[in-house]
Structure 1
Amino acid sequence: MTISLHALSILSTFLVLVNIPQQSHAAWTATDVHAVRGLILSSATYDRLIRPSENINVNVSLSLLTINFLDVKTQTLSSTGWLTAEWEDKRLTWNAGTYPDVTHVYALDTEIWRPELFIDNSLADVSILDDDNVMFKITRDGVVEWKLPRIFTTFCNVDVTYYPFDTQTCVVEITSWAYSQDEISLNVTRNSVNTEDIKPHGEWTIISSSAEEKTLQETKENGVIETFAQIDFYIKMQRKSNYYISSVLLPVLLTSYLNNFVFILPVDSGEKVGFILTVLLALAVLLTLVSDSIPSTSINTSILSVYLAVTLCLGVVCCLLTVLVIKIYFKDPDTDITPRWRLLHDKVLAPLSCWTGCPCQCSREKTVAPSDNNNEMVVMNAEDENTETKSEQNCSNELKWTHLANVMDHFFLVVMFVITTISSITFMVALAAGGELNE
């Protein structure tokens, strides 16, 4: 009898230990979720066409995964990410004591109410944001979370003034379409765009982002102004300019200096006109290539396009000057040089170009003779002013059209080289400095 009582005691203790977990913990079951969904989504108590309250606060945030491309010519930004919206619907709550392990359930777009959101500056899909395959997460306190993945193709006002050192600010505009601001208020969840998971892009780098709450006003035919809530997500991107420095700027700079080498070619070679026309053709091709990558607008003018246009104009001037030099070079050698050309040579061409060849000199050379005492070189000046004046007159009388053409070639080489250098430095500094200030 004692052994039986002892065995019963052990058996009862074992049963108590086995039953304790079952009584203190109720596991999650699909039956409970089904019961919760039937409770909150009952057609008798819930109508998806009626908003939950008089005014609903919808918290919106934007997260980006990739920047696909920014087409500068069509001013189109393509990006991939998802839009997160949260709001509270008191009709979608259940008792935590009845279903303690069901913290949230999911519903489809056809089952619950949702705000009608619209991308105001969309270019690809001008429609209400929706997706029948995306589920809504509903918590037991009635908070609904909607994460909508999407490729955002939006308009971006591109400023190409400092191309290729430009910085662009694009915006994604989210607007409440059907409900006015008195019915739905759009609030930003965070003050910037979420870029934690973004992949690096080969051409653009995101340097900053921001979010701003705005309003959109619409005037009806009867004069009544209706206000809608709007959120603008700003994305500031900087172009990676290393590729453009080697493929655009460097060829433009080198080609611009090719204009000057036409004045080094001898006139007798017969290649001066052909050379300058080839350079002009190369500049025209570069100008066309750069213009094709820049939007056709007069709002913003690219400094690089202006520089190419100036370089093209300098090339045309070099071509005209080359024709002038060739014409002077092949004048009848028996024809005397007119006083105007002689004055231009003596006062402008020879002094400014520092031409040192006879018969035109930038400065009179000094006579040098060795010293008998210490084998050093000493400078011997002209005997008197009359001898120097006579030498200058003889030099001037010996001036021929061929010599004048050579002096003009040298003068134009110096002048165009200085102009090209000054214009190149000015435009390149303006591009680099403007890009830094814009950033």
Structure 2
Amino acid sequence: MTELHEDLLRNISEDVYPRSNSSSPLKVQIQFSLTSLNALDEVKGELQVVGYLTVTWNDERFTWNPMMYGGIGTTIFPRSKVWAPPLILSNPTEQISDLNADLALVRFLYTRAAIWNPGDIFKTKCYADIYKFPFDEQTCLIGLTAWGYLATEILLMFPNNDMNIKFYKDSGEWILKNWNMLSYEQNSISVASISLTFKRRPEFFVTNMILPIILMCFLNAVVFVLPPESGERVSYSITVLLSFAVFMTIVNDNIPKTSAPMPIICFYLISVLGGSALITVLMIINLRIHSKDTKHPIPQWMLTMKRVFGKRPESKVKPVKKESKNGMAVDFEKDPNKNKNETEASFGPDDYVTWPDIAEAFDRIMLYVCTLYFTAVTVCSMLALAL
């Protein structure tokens, strides 16, 4: 083995790349193996995955007859003693640096084939599209290029669109949905791009964020069922309003500070927050109506609202049964101090409507309107997230 190494390394410089034909570039084939997803931080716009590359090329300088060296058909060299393509990330998050090249040995076959398996934590930029958060999918790129070489000198390529995921397991938040391999030329430099698509697991956010918001929407609407005498209406509605503000803070902490595009759930939160604020204002107006002095006349439109949505007032003239001589007659109870015409007069339903009755009808209308509003906003938002 020592003799083989000495013979192969004689008159060979690790700084000279092995291109035998100057008219064609050296073809370097890459296969990516993904082992784990460390982080996909959509707030910072960063992807961190652990993996390794299987890089192969032909080096005509490394060839020998195995029979002359005891049947040895393959051997390995440290990366520092032989040439290997200086691969770097083209879209790093921090600084430009090569992979952990020195830790990986280069294997040579007697057939001139070279195999190199550098591994690293790949930290790349990944601009998140959180429009459908938390039902979103993120596509991130890992770009590789040969530092300092033109595309006419080294051509990076993928033998196929396959990626090794034998050792990969999905994380608790993201599922690997798809991948794609693409090699192209950019600014006279050969680039190998690995596209990874991850789908978010939405169960955590649905259980701890969306469902509580939906429940609070309808809890907010039932404030109109509370009796005004309880004195808890305004404090109840303000408490729910503040709860929406807290959930908006939680959502903002989990998404990027971007307006292109705004997440649907942000529009949903703004809608329900505005509805909750409106309910608080309506509640104050309703309490004002309920406590209004009876000396103030009730407008006709409020009386119409009461007739349509309120309860029927009980008649002040109470029918009582009086048996006549034949046992069949029914008459009304009459005040002996009033004349016959006044007693038998028909009383209109608006004669006994009070301000608390108007407030009760207002409560019923607002209960229907707010429930319909929250239902429509929730259904439209969920459909937009699902489609």
TM-score of the aligned structures, taking structure 1 as reference length: 0.77
DSSP-derived class of the 1:251 partner = helix
**Corresponding letter in the other structure for 1:92:** F
For residue 356 of structure 1, report the CA deviation from its aligned partner: 3.0
| Corresponding residue for residue 261 of structure 2 | 300
**Residue equivalent to 1:17:** none
Q: Percentage identity across aligned positions?
A: 27
Partner of 1:274: 235
Matched-pair contact (CA < 8 Å) for 1:192–1:233: no
- Does the CA-based 8 Å contact 2:75-2:108 persist in structure 1? yes
In the alignment, the residues of structure 2 paired with residue 414 and residue 247 of structure 1 have an alpha-carbon distance, to the nearest angstrom, of 27
1:106 corresponds in structure 2 to: 76
* Matches of 1:329 and 1:321, distance apart in 2: 12
Report the structure number with the largest CA radius of gyration.
1
| 1:260 paired to 2:218 | no
Q: Which residue of 2 aligns with 1:47?
A: 13
Q: Distance in 1 between matches of 2:384 and 2:307?
A: 34
User: Alignment partner for residue 200 of structure 1, among 162, 167, 170?
Assistant: 170
Supply the distance in 1 between the matched residues of 2:249 and 2:314 (Cα, whole angstroms): 46
Aligned partners of 2:154, 2:302: CA distance in 1, in Å? 81
Provide the rounded CA distance (Å) in 2 between the counterparts of 1:357 and 1:70: 62
Matched-pair contact (CA < 8 Å) for 2:313–2:352: no
| Residue 140 (structure 1) aligned with residue 110 (structure 2) | yes
Runs of 5+ unmatched residues, structure 1: 1-32, 218-226, 361-366, 368-389, 434-439
* In 2: Cα distance, 1:166 partner to 1:401 partner: 51
Change beyond 3 A, Cα 1:413–1:111: same
Q: Is the 8 A contact 2:306 2:357 kept in 1?
A: no
CA contact (8 A) 1:60 1:83 kept: yes
Cα distance in structure 1, aligned partners of 2:198 and 2:4: 47
**Match for residue 161 of structure 1 among 115, 131, 146:** 131
Q: Distance in 2 between matches of 1:350 and 1:312?
A: 32
Q: C-alpha displacement at 1:284, in angstroms?
A: 0.2
Partner of 2:62: 92
- For residues 421 and 236 of structure 1, the distance between their equivalents in structure 2, rounded to whole angstroms, comes to 33
Q: SS of the residue aligned with 2:156?
A: strand
Aligned to 1:417: 371
**Structure 1 residues 380-399: aligned runs within 5 Å:** 394-399=348-353
| Partner of residue 35, structure 1 | 3
> What is the CA deviation profile of residues 105-146 of structure 1, one whole-angstrom value per residue up to 9, with x for unaligned ones?
111122111112111112145212243232110111221111
Match of 1:248 among 209, 215, 221: 209
8 Å contact 1:205–1:238 — kept in the other structure? yes
Q: Measure how far apart 1:272 and its partner are.
A: 0.9
CA deviation string 1:286-332 (max 9, x = no partner): 01101110000111211111111100000011011111101111111
**Alpha-carbon distance, 1:357 to partner:** 3.7
Give the letter aligned to residue 256 of structure 1: C
Cα 1:322–1:77 change in 2 (3 A) is: same
Alpha-carbon distance in structure 2 between the residues aligned to 1:431 and 1:140: 57
Secondary structure class of the residue paired with 1:132 = helix
- Is residue 328 of structure 1 aligned with residue 289 of structure 2? yes
Deviations 1:4-63 (A, max 9, x none): xxxxxxxxxxxxxxxxxxxxxxxxxxxxx1111101101xx2112111113211001110
In structure 2, what is the Cα distance between the partners aligned to 1:123 and 1:189? 28
Distance 1:136 1:349, change over 3 A: farther
In structure 1, what is the Cα distance between the partners aligned to 2:114 and 2:279? 72
CA RMSD of aligned residues (A): 1.9
- Alpha-carbon distance between aligned partners in 2 of 1:75 and 1:193, rounded to the nearest angstrom: 24
- Asked if structure 2 preserves the Cα contact closer than 8 Å seen for 1:359 and 1:399, the reply is no
- What is the Cα deviation at residue 336 of structure 1? 1.3
CA contact under 8 A between 2:29 and 2:158: conserved in structure 1? yes
> What is the number of residues matched between the two proteins?
355
The residue matched to 1:336 in structure 2 has which SS?
Answer: coil
Matched, 1:356 2:311: yes
Query: Distance between the aligned counterparts of 1:272 and 1:248, measured in 2?
Result: 25
Match in the other structure for 1:316: 277
Which secondary structure does the structure 2 equivalent of 1:68 belong to? strand
Q: Secondary structure at the match of 2:121?
A: strand
Cα distance in structure 1, aligned partners of 2:225 and 2:314? 19
Give the TM-score taking structure 2 as reference length.
0.87
CA distance in 1, matches of 2:306, 2:111: 91
Distance 1:399 1:130 in 2: 85
Whole-angstrom CA distance in 2 between matches of 1:100 and 1:67: 44
Structure 1 contact 203–239 (Cα < 8 Å) conserved? yes
Distance 1:157 1:349 in 2: 56
| 2:303 and 2:350 in contact (8 A); partners too | no
